[in-house]
Chain A
């Protein structure tokens, strides 16, 4: 078992289970998870229907009963309207969607870890827990729990979205099932597999960082102020420059972001979605990410160990720097 070789064991699972179930049963969490995508979909739909009255006609302009029929109908249309081949467009769309979902999971789960650590420190429960397990086991349990929660959350969003499509589709005579079949047949498996690696490492990086930062803060309020800086920055940096990338897949901005550890996952996933990135660059970025993640996990452990029991003051960067060398 990998966990046990890292010095983590049964107790890590117990922490993970406790945090996972506890948050899952939290009404606020459920509310956000289910209602958020519904509201988003609903408002998007209303806007789209109001703004583009012709949309309904164009949607049902492709009466197809099978994915193959739909493909035959779509191919000339896509090439005419967009100037690209259908398979490229579809795989970019799918990969892009996955990249967004993964980035959001990193963003949400990282925030969860941060707030959870701050709350645990604030309520003083952490010292009691540390009598039963090591800081490593505690952080690992939390990171696992909130990573899993993030994925569950994402799965619920996707499920809500698909259900929405399936329920609404027939009213518009929209070819829901053929479209889903077509999308599925164009799933870019290798890319998605690679995404999973970027996601796992990227999340581990951000979550460790969040746990460390959380341990040095005194309350949830100071957490909220800084959390945008901590969690949002790396994940959002590639997203916020997205227009640059869609204009020019080779843009220098993304080349740079591909080597800045916190934003590697975002930058690389989006690049991979839109273009073919040379294998060498993929491997280099993975190497840099792996190295910096290992470094971050170690650093975070040290900071957490000291920070979590310092009550009554938030720590300056200078003090944190001193500990990590100690």
Chain B
């Protein structure tokens, strides 16, 4: 990977609060133009990491490099704030101020001149059906509208890197879809997006690469398809009619193959196939051992790569 394609480099970064390591030896890089997901449950250290990337916190140790070179030895606070956009998790804007002037002020702080900021603000508000709210005070807007305005405030100044901390939290489903589309749009416009989320299923389709974090530490990192391939697990979902006791069925499955039973009752089951059991083998086993002499009528079956969330849960369990 050529150095110029790396926009942000996080190197062995650690931060502790009151003796607790919120972020512990984390390293990753974000490449130009990609949508990078920083994923993990609440309290995993995502926000702390993001605040360090933005120079709001200083790491206790480690470095954060922007642009691949140049800032190598400086404190991370020296990041080019003009070229970064930020949507914090805890978000709010000036309640008593007007939507338009607020957007212009924030874009101005990032160094964008007022005329250009105004043009862009109008385009964005138009795009999100908020055109007529330009001269209105923020407190007159509904919560959903305010969230859109906050999103605009993060991207108005045409940043090179947009950092979105939990962009989907507090959104209703239609808004989640809208935000997914908006974020894809940013990447199409050439911005690099770093987003954090705890709803892994929601962002799985969005991210090119991901960093999964748990208790401040790396769990998984890399290309999303690659991660799924490397983990090689399969999820088997079956619907069936079982006339015998399901406890008996459970025992037989456990005896026949090393699949992990996620759920099982008289009507269906969900299993997790480990990497070393190919789908073909499992099907064979199913037909020969389980269905043969047992009262099991199979109605539906699917064998799929697991969701990112499933992989995460499995990996964390094994830690």
Contacts and interface: CB of A to CB of B under 8 A. Distances in A.
Nearest to A21: B101
A124 B90 contact: yes
B110 to A, nearest CB: 5
A289 B92 CA distance: 38
A130 interface: yes
B69 to A, nearest CB: 23
B310 interface: no
B97 interface: yes
Given A14-B109, A128-B153, A133 B90 contact: no
Given A124-B88, A128-B88, A133 B93 contact: no
Nearest to A10: B111
Q: For the complex, would chain B's binding face be called helix, strand, loop or mixed by DSSP majority?
A: mixed
Interface band, chain A? 10 to 19
Given A26-B96, A133-B81, A134-B77, A311 B109 contact: no
Interface string A1-40: 0000000000100110010001000100000000000000
Interface residues of B, number: 27
Interface in B71-99: 77, 81, 84-88, 90-97
B106 to A, nearest CB: 7
Interface in A131-148: 131-134
A14 B108 contact: yes
Nearest to B139: A123
A152 interface: no
A26 B98 CA distance: 12
Contact of A14 (B54, B105, B154): B105
B301 interface: no
Contact of A131 (B56, B97, B108): B56
Contacts of A129: 106, 109
B106 A127 contact: no
A252 interface: no
Contacts of B92: 123-125, 128
Given A14-B105, A133-B109, A134-B77, A127 B90 contact: yes
Contacts of B228: none
Contact of A18 (B90, B91, B93, B105): B105
Nearest to A11: B109
Contacts of B94: 22, 123, 125
A309 interface: yes
B72 to A, nearest CB: 21
Given A22-B97, A123-B95, A128 B81 contact: no
Contacts of B250: none
Given A22-B97, A26-B96, A134-B77, A124 B91 contact: yes
A131 B84 CA distance: 8
Interface string A100-134: 00000000000000000000000111011111111
Contacts of B154: 128
Given A26-B96, A125-B93, A132 B56 contact: no
Interface in B37-96: 51, 54, 56, 77, 81, 84-88, 90-96
Contacts of A311: 90
Given A131-B56, A309-B51, A309-B56, A123 B93 contact: yes
15 contacts: A18-B105, A22-B94, A22-B96, A123-B95, A125-B94, A127-B90, A128-B92, A128-B93, A128-B153, A128-B154, A131-B56, A131-B84, A131-B88, A132-B81, A133-B81
Nearest 4 A/B pairs, CB to CB: A124-B92, A131-B86, A132-B109, A123-B92
